[in-house]
Amino acid sequence: MALIKHDIPILEYDDSQHAVIMPTHDNLDIKLPSKAVFAFLGDVIETYAESNKNKAEKIAEFISATKVYPVYIVDYEGEDICLCQAPVGSAASTQILDWLIGYGVTKVISSGTCGALAELPENTFLVPTKALRDEGTSYHYLPPSRYVNICSDALYAIEKVFQKCNIPYLECMTWTTDGFYRETREKVMYRKEEGCMVVEMECASLAACAEFRDIKFGQILFTADTLANIDAYDERNWGEDSFEKALYICLDIVHEM
């Protein structure tokens, strides 16, 4: 299929698998494990790796213009798993995900905070089954559409681990936006009416990249701040109590895949 042109650039789409700059253009001499946890969990990932030196090895680095992201191999339950912190935002995180895929990753679980649109307590775990594409990056990977669905195989593994561990969770549709300071009153109300329970900044883009590259991707979210009452925005404690727990859940899930 040739490039589909449009007056609005974000609605143009080219399905070619080849770009001028490919994710492996740096020709690194590495082969990553097929399974990866690529998550938005602050310092928790690096702390976990550094505290498990006998079972964790830094194998590579993703060097961006602003920060270097270590990439670890960890021995989890006798299986090698790739572990990497994800940067906030669709464009930045998808760039690294595509790079990880280029070097061998085929099954990915992510996790991070989300803003509650419904009346949800802080630290509620949610499993997005589809994401509303209100950002830009996903449109470079899939043709324009309102939603992107999450891989059914990943959803099966996620739900199996939650049920096995007796961890309460909710399935949801998430609103992915790249305009943190443009979540206006009317737009929040519109998304809620459409059925979005939470809002975050990466799920749609990561899922689109995974579908384009034909790999399996799933994500778990946990509530941090809340926009449920648009007249009284509440940061709460940004979901801090769930960061470490989420990492172990992700490791269990990707091990299950």
Reported as a pLDDT band with limits 50, 70 and 90, residue 52 is confident
Q: How far apart are CA 193 and CA 61, in angstroms?
A: 42
The yes-or-no verdict on residue 54 having pLDDT over 80 is no
CB atoms < 10 A from the CB of 159, how many?
Answer: 15
**Percent residues over pLDDT 70 in the chain:** 100
- Specify the pLDDT at position 219: 98
Give the integer Cα–Cα distance in Å for 108 and 163. 20
Residue 76 — very low, low, confident or very high, per pLDDT cuts 50/70/90? very high
Task: Say yes or no to pLDDT of 1 above 90.
Answer: no
For range 50-62, the mean pLDDT = 88
Quick: pLDDT tens for 179-190.
Answer: 999 999 999 999
Give the residue extent of every domain in the chain: 30-256
Secondary structure (3-state) at 213: helix
pLDDT of residue 55 exceeding 90, the answer is no
Residue 254 has pLDDT above 90, yes or no: yes
Q: Provide mean pLDDT across the span 5-21.
A: 94
Q: What average pLDDT does this structure show over 191-201?
A: 98
Mean pLDDT of the chain: 96
* Chain segment 112-153, per-residue pLDDT in tens: 999 999 999 999 999 999 999 999 999 999 999 999 999 999
pLDDT band at residue 21 under the 50/70/90 scheme: very high
Please give the DSSP secondary-structure letter assigned to residue 106. Answer: -
Please state which CATH class domain 30-256 belongs to: alpha beta
Q: What are the φ/ψ torsions at residue 243 (nearest 5 degrees)?
A: -60, -55
Contacts of 99 (CB under 8 A, 6+ apart): 23, 24, 62
Average pLDDT over residues 167-187: 97
Tokens for 246?
Answer: 């989420």
Type of residue numbered 226 = T
Burial class (CB in 10 A: 0-12, 13-18, 19+), 196: buried
- pLDDT value at position 189? 97
Q: For residues 98 and 209, what is the distance between their CA atoms, to the nearest angstrom?
A: 7
- pLDDT at position 92 is 97
Strands, DSSP E only, in 135-206? 147-149, 170-177, 196-200
* Cα 61 to Cα 78: distance, rounded to the nearest angstrom: 24
The rounded distance, in Å, linking the Cα atoms of 123 and 225 is: 10
Could you read off the pLDDT of 199-245 as tens digits, one per residue?
Answer: 999 999 999 999 999 999 999 999 999 999 999 999 999 999 999 99
In whole angstroms, give the CA distance from residue 84 to residue 73. Answer: 9
